[in-house]
Structure 1
Amino acid sequence: MLHQVPRIDITQCSPDQLVALLAEHSCVLLENHGVDVNLREAMLNSWDEFFALPRSEKEQVEWPGDGPWYGWQPVSEKGPKGDLMERFELRLDVDKRLSDNQNWGDTFTKWPVAPVDFRQNWEKMYFRMREFAGFVMGKIAAGLGRDDWDADNWTDNQFSNLVATHYYAQPANPNRGQWRAHPHTDIGALTLLWGDSAPGGLEVAINGGKDWVPVQIPEDCWLLQAGDLLNLWSGNTIPANPHRVANPPREQAIHARRSIIFFHYPDPSVLITPPNGDQSKAVLTADHIQFRQDEDMVKANAV
């Protein structure tokens, strides 16, 4: 049975209502989001073409292995329990930000040569999702009463990653304990997710993490998920959303799956503190990102 995630009109929902729903469910479906479906499809089409390229071409834009993730990443090759996917990640450094979006895009060093419209489609989606995430973050801050927040560093100077994932078809059984995406909470503040309806999809934990239930994202919605940093910043009012991407049933294992994910963080220099200002629980955004990435590498290589 599908889990009924609350569905809201993000333009009409009040800040208090949004925070209350996230506090109860840790994720909500957002309609009337203003993200053009044609832009989404253009990005997906260029992504499909990129992932169909020979490996030697994709390796030209592979993440070099140090610092926060970006570029092409064959995640399944991290270790025996690496997630069964590959992904591409667009991240533009805040400290290289330029007023002109195209010039700022020039600072990214891992643009694929093919397909020819890849950069154009990804840039448009990246900047649209940055704007949307900033709008949502403003509502959450208001609903939490965080008048002390540094709005610029959570919106205009946000640290954001636009990701496309290709979850592989599984003609052979996965390794024991291996998933399309292992059970986890997201590292940052907000995650905005769109996924197709292929078998082997998103599942979220309910009943205090005891039960896993599938979630279908309607064509006209994006799923908003709370991450670790929002949980801390809200003083645990908003729980981080535990989720995973399940393996498809064996009789449907020939189907691959696609998703688009936008990960939102404040500027890496921001110190995240709970509402009471408890410095013993504060974390630097940059340190938290690196710590969680290192954790993922350890889990991928677990025996």
Structure 2
Amino acid sequence: MLDTPLAKVPTLSLADQTRDPDQFAADLGGSFRRFGFAIVADHGIPQDLIARAWSETEALFALRDDEKRGYFIDGQGGARGYTPFKTEIAKDAKHVDLKEFWHVGRELPPGHHYESEMPANVWPTRPAGFKETFLKLFQAFDTAGDKLLSAIARHLDLTPDWFDPAVKDGNSVLRLLHYPPIPADAQGVRAGAHEDINLITLLLGAEEAGLELLDRDSGNWLAIKPPEGAMVVNVGDMLQRLTNHVLPSTTHRVVNPPPERRGHSRYSMPFFLHPAPDFLIKTLPQTITTENPDRYPAPITANGYLRERLVEIGLIQK
């Protein structure tokens, strides 16, 4: 890992979207086409909210194991609440990931028509203020995600609000991730090579070394290290499928740290932006060409696709 070269992913400013939305869309789309990733500064999520979220994430994972496991819901595929250490496995991997995590989803009003597809949140009794903090952070991620989707729509020659109905009440998930200290002889890595399931992922916490992408041009692993406070954004498989691979979902992983950092925890907060469960993932016509024929002639709902992938990574059973 120490010799892994840095990926030359450009750092963009979301503030530029207001000044020149077409140029920002071109820059974001260009970064996605090349790397499947972009780095976005000035994302609008308040720094004091982020700091509070980090503090409460550390306090949550510092709870006793039996207390955390009390928030694990068997059979739900980790959709909400706690998922224990060494549960998730990357597709085709030999070893489980060296991580534990907590999921916060969208709060729906009673009787909402997606209630059967999107389970209620699980809230711990401590740390105090956890629910308030992460409801606010979820909304802040949602707002930033909407802006990025608007830029993606422009890049694809769609109307800037094209994704709005697709993600209204979408099944997005905010994941709080803890990679505990690991021994030198640990089997596996913190997160095995994988692609994300959703439309786009917005990630805070990638300043700590470990995140790498697989470069399609060279076949080499490249390290991603954003500036302090910037967000890493990557294309997920749903968007790749929707765009017929024009915007690619890039394989990435989180490797184990060098010996001097193995005694330290690593934390990150990815926001997996999903469409609504009944959104139909159907190839966009403008992405189908003679050189790039339709790879997915049969459309699939977002929820159907999600279930297929959760089986692959071991979070639910067939």
TM-score range, shorter chain: 0.7 to 0.9
Q: For the Cα contact (< 8 Å) 1:10–1:33, is it kept in 2?
A: yes
Q: What does the per-residue CA deviation read over 1:88-115, in whole Å, with 9 as the maximum and x for residues that have no partner?
A: 11012668588xxxxxxxx834100001
* Pair 1:228-2:237 in alignment: yes
**Matching residue's letter, 2:14:** I
SS across alignment from 1:280: coil
State which of 76, 79, 85 in structure 1 corresponds to 2:99.
Answer: 85
For 2:280 and 2:104, locate their aligned partners in 1 and report how far apart those are by CA, in whole Å. 24
Corresponding residue for 1:292?
Answer: 309
Q: What does the per-residue CA deviation read over 1:123-144, in whole Å, with 9 as the maximum and x for residues that have no partner?
A: 1100111111111111111210
Q: For the Cα contact (< 8 Å) 1:94–1:159, is it kept in 2?
A: no
* Pair 1:5-2:17 in alignment: no
* Pair 1:245-2:254 in alignment: yes
Corresponding residue for 2:139?
Answer: 127
Indicate the larger mover: 111-120 or 234-243: 234-243
* 1:205/1:122 CA distance change after superposition, 3 Å: same
Corresponding residue for 2:283?
Answer: 274
For 1:265 and 1:31, locate their aligned partners in 2 and report how far apart those are by CA, in whole Å. 22
SS across alignment from 2:272: strand
* Pair 1:115-2:98 in alignment: no
Q: For the Cα contact (< 8 Å) 1:16–1:144, is it kept in 2?
A: no
Shift of 1:3: 1.8
* 1:117/1:244 CA distance change after superposition, 3 Å: same
The gaps in structure 1 that reach 5 residues or longer are 99-106, 299-303
Shift of 1:253: 1.5
* 1:242/1:168 CA distance change after superposition, 3 Å: same
Indicate the larger mover: 208-217 or 218-227: 208-217
Q: What does the per-residue CA deviation read over 1:16-39, in whole Å, with 9 as the maximum and x for residues that have no partner?
A: 332122111211110111111110
**Matching residue's letter, 1:111:** W
- 1:151-190 mapped onto 2 (5 Å cutoff): 151-175=163-187, 178-190=188-200
Corresponding residue for 1:103?
Answer: none
Q: What does the per-residue CA deviation read over 1:32-74, in whole Å, with 9 as the maximum and x for residues that have no partner?
A: 1111111011011111111111112112221332256221111
For 1:231 and 1:39, locate their aligned partners in 2 and report how far apart those are by CA, in whole Å. 31
TM-score by length of 1: 0.87
SS across alignment from 1:113: coil
* 1:228/1:108 CA distance change after superposition, 3 Å: same
**Matching residue's letter, 1:6:** P
Corresponding residue for 1:104?
Answer: none
Corresponding residue for 1:25?
Answer: 35
* Pair 1:212-2:229 in alignment: no
* 1:93/1:65 CA distance change after superposition, 3 Å: farther
For 1:97 and 1:9, locate their aligned partners in 2 and report how far apart those are by CA, in whole Å. 39
Indicate the larger mover: 160-169 or 55-64: 55-64
SS across alignment from 1:157: coil
* 1:197/1:224 CA distance change after superposition, 3 Å: closer
For 2:175 and 2:80, locate their aligned partners in 1 and report how far apart those are by CA, in whole Å. 9
**Matching residue's letter, 2:178:** H
Corresponding residue for 1:74?
Answer: 84
**Matching residue's letter, 1:17:** D
SS across alignment from 1:213: strand
- 1:129-144 mapped onto 2 (5 Å cutoff): 129-144=141-156
SS across alignment from 1:17: helix
State which of 35, 40, 64 in structure 2 corresponds to 1:54.
Answer: 64
For 2:237 and 2:248, locate their aligned partners in 1 and report how far apart those are by CA, in whole Å. 8
- Over the matched positions of the two proteins, sequence identity in percent amounts to 25
Q: For the Cα contact (< 8 Å) 1:196–1:257, is it kept in 2?
A: no
Shift of 1:252: 2.9
TM-score by length of 2: 0.83
The structure with more helix, counted as a fraction of residues: 1
* 1:209/1:82 CA distance change after superposition, 3 Å: farther
Give the number of equivalent residue pairs: 288
SS across alignment from 2:147: helix
The gaps in structure 2 that reach 5 residues or longer are 17-22, 113-118, 289-293
